[in-house]
Every structure is written in structure tokens, then in C-alpha cells.
């Protein structure tokens, strides 16, 4: 579990703990473990010329975003778009939640976790679609509550038809995501770039990829070892002896897959 995932669930758990000492103790241990691990990971990252760019202290703004990001409609739209394949449209059924008897702590926990996810890490959840997995249990729990509430408050046939319609609508709206995930898609032209790199180099060459941030995709598909230079760094940030002999290529995403060899 990533520390950013643990934080939203642990804070949500603390909110509903209400003085339960065992639960508070578990949360405290988890927070302590996360802090120790982060400190240890940062100490490792500080030893490398590239990895130190990704230590916790240098990524604060990227991780937490700016204050106004929390009310940015563009980021909200991206976040909802990433949640769509999880069936978030079905949460409309929560209007019937008052009809559901019993303990609602799980639903409260889920609601708090989702609210915290966007309140604390707006840019992460908006920029990275896979971050939606962190709140997928919350969506599942709330969908279950919504469905049960609707079943108790409305005719079963109506609920089943509405559920089927929402399921079909969810699939239709999120179809572009499924195509990218499972179809023969290459939106960033990584396969094209990889084919060029593979043709221009030998298996023993070390390759430096510029213009694709720290993504290893081109190196992976080209079956080459090397370095993907982060956009926040330049070649001069690297020790000269580290990249000596590397074949260098500018594969900027704006080149539509065309990689240009660079002479050191």
C-alpha cells in the first residue's frame, strides 16, 4: 500500500474511532511505520543524482498541490473521469441511504476517505488514473449502500432496470479507458519510439532517453538498458562518468514518436 493511500484511510479511521483505544493504537503504529519508511526511503533517494529529485521534501507541492487546486473545476472533472470506471455514477442511489437501517460507520468511513483523497492530494488523484484504486473500496461500499437503500425504498423492478441502465452507461462512458488499457493503443507513440531505438542501437548499448520524463516504457519495449531522464533534470545534472558511452536520444512526446540521436 502506498503511503498516500494509507493516509486517507487512517485519518478516516481516526475520525470514527471515538476513543476506541485498540483502533487508535493500530492507527498510531501504522502512522509511525509510514513515517519511518518514508524517512528511510528518502535517505536512499538522496544518494543518487536523479533519485534525490524525488525525495519527499522536493515533491511537497506536487504531492499536496496548491490551495486553489481543491476548487479547480478541471481537476474535479479529471478526478470524476478517473472514478467513472468504478461505477461512481451509481452513487446517485445514495439519496435513498436514509432507508437503510443498521450501523453506518463503514459508509461514513468511506465518505471521509473519498473526501480526504481529493482534499489532501488533489493533483495526484487528478493526474494519475491509477490513484482511483486507493478509494475503490470506498466506492464499492457506498455503491452497496446506495443499491440496498434503493431496493428498500423503491420497487425492485425499477431498481434493477435503473441499475442495468447505470451499468451500461458506465461502460459506455468509460469505454475509451478500457480501449487504452486492453486494446492495441499507443497514444504516446511509445512503441514507435521503441522500434526506432531498437533499430538504431545494439543490445549491449546503454541508452539515455530525453523528453519522456522518468517513464521507462521506451527502454522496456526496445529491450535496452539505460536511463530515462526526468523532465526536472538535465544531462548536466548527471555525473559525466555515469553517462559516458551512453547513446542519447531526444524522444520528446511532441515528436509523435520520432526519436532524434543527440551527439554528446
Q: pLDDT tens-digit profile of 40-88?
A: 999 998 888 778 878 888 888 888 888 899 999 999 999 888 888 888 7
Measure the N-to-C terminal CA separation of the chain; round to a whole number of Å: 41
Q: Which pLDDT belongs to residue 102?
A: 55
Span 101-154, pLDDT tens digits: 556 777 788 888 888 888 899 998 888 888 888 898 888 888 888 887 788 778
What secondary structure letter does DSSP report for 107?
H
What secondary structure letter does DSSP report for 257?
T
Length of the chain in residues, anyone? 264
Span 145-194, pLDDT tens digits: 888 778 877 888 888 888 888 888 888 888 888 887 787 778 888 999 99
Winning range, highest mean pLDDT, from 56-65, 92-101, 189-198, 237-246? 189-198
Please, which residues bridge with residue 249 across strands? Answer: 209, 261
For residue 126, give the nearest of 181, 64, 213 by alpha carbon. 64
Residue 261, phi then psi, degrees to nearest 5: -70, 140
The answer, yes or no, to whether residue 100 has pLDDT greater than 70, is no
Q: Which pLDDT belongs to residue 73?
A: 92
Amino acid at each position: 500500500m502506498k503511503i498516500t493511500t494509507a493516509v486517507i484511510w487512517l485519518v478516516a479511521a481516526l475520525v470514527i474511532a471515538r476513543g476506541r483505544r485498540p483502533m487508535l493504537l493500530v492507527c498510531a503504529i501504522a502512522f509511525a511505520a509510514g513515517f519511518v519508511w518514508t524517512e528511510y526511503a528518502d535517505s536512499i533517494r538522496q544518494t543518487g543524482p536523479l533519485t534525490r529529485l524525488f525525495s519527499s521534501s522536493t515533491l511537497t507541492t506536487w504531492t499536496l498541490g496548491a490551495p486553489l487546486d481543491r476548487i479547480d473545476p478541471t481537476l474535479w472533472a479529471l478526478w470524476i473521469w478517473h472514478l467513472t470506471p468504478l461505477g461512481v455514477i451509481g452513487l446517485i442511489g445514495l439519496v435513498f441511504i436514509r432507508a437503510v437501517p443498521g450501523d453506518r460507520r463503514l459508509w461514513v468511513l468511506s465518505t471521509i476517505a473519498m473526501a480526504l483523497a481529493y482534499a489532501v492530494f488533489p493533483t495526484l488523484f487528478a493526474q494519475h488514473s491509477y490513484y482511483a484504486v486507493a478509494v475503490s473500496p470506498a466506492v464499492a461500499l457506498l455503491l452497496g449502500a446506495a443499491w440496498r437503500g434503493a431496493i428498500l425504498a423503491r420497487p425492485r423492478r425499477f431498481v434493477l432496470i435503473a441499475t442495468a441502465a447505470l451499468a451500461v452507461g458506465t461502460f459506455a462512458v468509460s469505454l475509451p479507458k478500457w480501449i487504452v488499457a486492453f486494446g492495441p493503443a499507443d497514444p504516446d507513440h511509445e512503441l514507435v519510439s521503441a522500434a526506432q531505438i531498437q533499430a538504431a542501437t545494439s543490445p549491449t548499448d546503454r541508452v539515455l532517453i530525453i523528453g519522456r520524463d522518468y517513464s521507462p516504457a521506451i527502454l522496456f519495449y526496445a529491450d535496452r538498458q539505460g536511463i530515462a531522464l526526468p523532465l526536472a533534470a538535465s544531462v548536466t545534472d548527471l555525473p559525466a562518468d555515469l553517462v559516458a558511452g551512453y547513446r542519447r536520444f531526444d524522444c520528446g512526446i511532441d515528436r509523435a514518436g520520432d526519436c532524434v540521436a543527440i551527439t554528446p
